[in-house]
């Protein structure tokens, strides 16, 4: 555990520090700058103290462990992506503007209270924060960007019964046809059937962003029967592409938490070339999205690889991660499919994340599904991978393995055998871990007996 006092001149000094657990802000600090605590994954306690902070910069708390934060009354501005991918559980805030994607992908976030005075909520402000069940919306809000609640699965579900009326109005979109609105809100089979019976051509309707009903349901829908119905009604709908992101229904479906191998097959049969789709910004393909999806199945992964084996070579244009890298950090990871991905792209095991420089072995060693068998497979495929170090925290695969509660000693022994010097990697956050102590003792014994 490391506690720090954040001073005015510190800037990005603590960016990526995974050993920091608590921060107290010095009284003269008025701005938390962009990226200040980005990647501080174990930072859970943040105290503004007596400071008068007026601005939190973009990505300041991106990918942090923060679970709660008491925002000061002096706060006027929060930058885009400021708390994206953080562990916030509750947000109560009063700033004039919630910027783009500020609280996006906060998967632990359950309750949001926007206090009177909030005037604007920008594009994708809460997108993919899947577990929000309470959202209070003040009368002061006058401007709402598009896709504010995209991917907020539980909020969409509750919209049918208990969500505040003003929020429901922004879950809906008055510019969209009824069928598309239903598909965005994971509508019921009976309602969708009724619209198709009344107007069979509704399924072919393309809205202003280039998307159709199948595209929206592939992203938000949860019913296998509805997806089958939409595909049967308009098979060519599988060729649809979002005008801005260029993603097709298969791409969206591969990141859907309700993803089924059966529907993956159906979408591929309707549009075989859809498996080669790449989104405009990140150049990710359906296989890459599927490998990151915690609801993925080995059967679905096999189908995607059979349809496009070169898809295993895909790299995210921003993070530079490939499908194997994403899959190795996925808790649904199957040793069988890691081997299949390695066969499809042997060099993929050498992939490194653009920001942290972590490789697939490093990600796998921190995966809760980690098995000693797979550690050996990854080591055999790339022996030098055991020397990988996180550019931000300087941790190596052995360090991550020792912290992982799912890990067993035989995997540790394989890592030590491949890189005995890796035992000297220092990380304050794991020194109290019993497996870490065993690892250091084992390393000392091996050194003593080494010829």
Q: What is the pLDDT of residue 308?
A: 96
pLDDT of residue 429: 45
The span from the CA of 141 to the CA of 126, in Å, is 15
Apex CA 370: angle with CA 284 and CA 87, to 5°? 65
Per DSSP, 81 falls in state T
- For position 273, what pLDDT does the model report? 97
Residue 340 confidence (pLDDT): 92
- For residue 152, the model assigns a pLDDT of 80
Q: Which long-range contacts (CB under 8 A, 24 or more apart) does 404-410 make?
A: 404/365, 404/366, 404/367, 404/368, 404/370, 405/368, 406/367, 406/368, 406/369, 406/370, 407/365, 407/370, 407/372, 407/435, 408/372, 409/435, 409/438, 410/372
User: For residue 77, what are the β-bridge partners?
Assistant: 55
pLDDT along the chain (451 residues), means of 10: 91 91 95 94 93 95 94 93 94 92 93 91 88 85 79 62 51 69 80 92 90 91 89 95 93 90 95 96 94 90 95 93 94 88 95 91 86 86 88 80 68 66 51 49 56 58
3-state DSSP call for residue 303?
helix
Nearest to 207 by CA among 243, 232, 245: 243
pLDDT of the residue at 428: 39
For the entire predicted model, the pTM comes to: 0.65
pLDDT of residue 420: 56
- Reduced to 3 states, what is the DSSP secondary structure of residue 328? helix
């Amino acid at each position: 555990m490391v506690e720090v006092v954040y001073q005015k001149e510190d800037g990005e000094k603590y960016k990526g520090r995974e050993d920091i657990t608590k921060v107290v802000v010095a009284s003269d600090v008025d701005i938390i700058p962009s990226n200040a605590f980005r990647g501080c994954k174990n930072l859970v306690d943040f105290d503004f103290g007596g400071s008068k902070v007026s601005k939190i910069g973009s990505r300041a708390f991106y990918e942090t462990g923060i679970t709660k934060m008491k925002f000061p009354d002096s706060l006027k501005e929060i930058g885009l992506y400021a708390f994206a991918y953080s562990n916030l559980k509750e947000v109560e805030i009063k700033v004039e503007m919630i910027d783009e994607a500020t609280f996006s992908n906060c998967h632990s976030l359950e309750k949001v209270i926007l206090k009177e005075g909030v005037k604007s909520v920008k594009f994708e402000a809460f997108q993919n924060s899947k577990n929000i069940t309470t959202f209070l919306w003040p009368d002061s809000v006058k401007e709402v960007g598009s896709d504010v609640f995209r991917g907020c699965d539980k909020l969409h579900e509750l919209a049918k019964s208990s969500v505040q009326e003003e929020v429901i109005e922004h879950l809906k979109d008055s510019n969209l046809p009824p069928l598309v609105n239903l598909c965005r809100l994971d509508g019921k089979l009976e309602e969708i059937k009724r619209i198709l019976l009344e107007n069979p051509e509704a399924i072919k309707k393309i809205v202003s962003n280039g998307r159709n009903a199948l595209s929206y349901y592939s992203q938000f829908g949860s019913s296998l029967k509805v997806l089958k119905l939409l595909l049967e009604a308009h098979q060519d709908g599988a060729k649809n592409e979002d005008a801005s992101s260029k993603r097709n229904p298969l791409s969206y479906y591969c990141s859907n938490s309700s993803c089924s191998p059966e529907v993956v097959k159906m979408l591929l049969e309707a549009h075989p070339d859809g498996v080669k789709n790449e989104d405009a910004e990140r150049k990710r393909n359906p296989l890459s999205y599927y490998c990151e999806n915690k609801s993925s199945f080995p059967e679905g992964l096999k189908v995607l690889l059979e349809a496009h084996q070169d898809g295993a070579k895909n790299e995210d244009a921003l993070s530079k991660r490939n499908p194997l890298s994403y899959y190795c950090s996925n808790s649904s990871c199957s040793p069988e499919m890691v081997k299949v991905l390695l066969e499809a792209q042997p060099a993929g095991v050498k992939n490194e994340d653009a920001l942290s420089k972590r490789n697939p072995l490093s990600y796998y060693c921190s995966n809760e599904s980690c098995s000693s068998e797979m550690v050996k497979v990854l080591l055999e495929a790339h022996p030098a991978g055991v020397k990988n170090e996180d550019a931000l925290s300087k941790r190596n695969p052995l360090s991550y393995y020792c912290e992982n509660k799912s890990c067993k000693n035989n995997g540790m022994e394989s890592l030590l055998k491949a890189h005995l010097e890796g035992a000297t990697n220092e990380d304050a956050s794991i020194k109290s871990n019993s497996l870490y102590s065993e690892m250091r003792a084992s390393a000392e014994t091996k050194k003593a007996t080494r010829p």
